[in-house]
Amino acid sequence: MNSSAIGSLTNPTKLSAAFKTVKKKTISNATLKKYIDYFCDSFLIDSAFRYDIKGKKYIDTPVKYYFTDLGLRNASLNFRQLEETDTMENIIFNELKMRGFNVDIGVVTLNKTNENGHGIRRQLEIDFVCNKGSKRYYIQSAYAIPDQAKMEQEQRSLMLTGDFFKKILIMKDALSPYYNENGLLKT
């Protein structure tokens, strides 16, 4: 697994192709699946499966993986590639797991028509669907929201869930020109 790809959708087939292209090495999907399972079993990484919110079903592949110890992850990369957005997402994932939530990656489908009248189907992602007993929360992680367009992008998938569970947007810094003193987006 690529340590620099925190929270990226991946599967053994994708990893096998990357090894073949980048490293010129052939590693079977089955071998890569075993390695991933070993990392999960040893608590080095944890997985989050994709969940179709409206269809109420799991999507088997691809899966997102997060590091249970970011210090080990960073050391394995010689403390390079410290992407703040990925790190923030990993920290939120770990915190939710520590609090006892089952954490999935949400998928909502957006169907619309383009200017030519052709139907377009897009899948939008919700960073985390958190379940604990009868409680469910939808959480988006956004390191920075520099403008109204980015805010609308982050909120779009949350608004398409079609239900009334709590929706949360976590940002690094809500004190920007787009927010009032209460941290709410100015309108």
SS3 assignment, position 119: strand
Q: Which residue has the tokens 């790809």?
A: 5
CB distance 33 to 15 below 8 Å: no
| pLDDT the model gives residue 179 | 60
| pLDDT the model gives residue 48 | 94
Full-model pTM: 0.81
What is the distance between the alpha carbons of residues 156 and 131, in angstroms, rounded to a whole number? 21
| pLDDT the model gives residue 70 | 83
SS3 assignment, position 179: strand
Tell me the one-letter amino acid at 154. E
> In the chain, which residue ranges form alpha helices assigned H by DSSP?
12-18, 29-41, 70-76, 84-98, 148-159
| pLDDT the model gives residue 186 | 62
* pLDDT in 10s for each residue of the chain, 187 residues: 555 567 788 888 888 888 899 889 999 999 999 999 999 999 999 999 999 998 888 987 789 999 998 888 778 777 776 778 888 999 999 999 999 999 999 999 888 888 888 888 888 999 999 999 999 999 999 988 888 888 888 999 999 998 999 999 998 865 555 566 665 656 5
Domain boundaries, the chain: 47-171
What is the distance between the alpha carbons of residues 94 and 99, in angstroms, rounded to a whole number? 9
| pLDDT the model gives residue 180 | 62
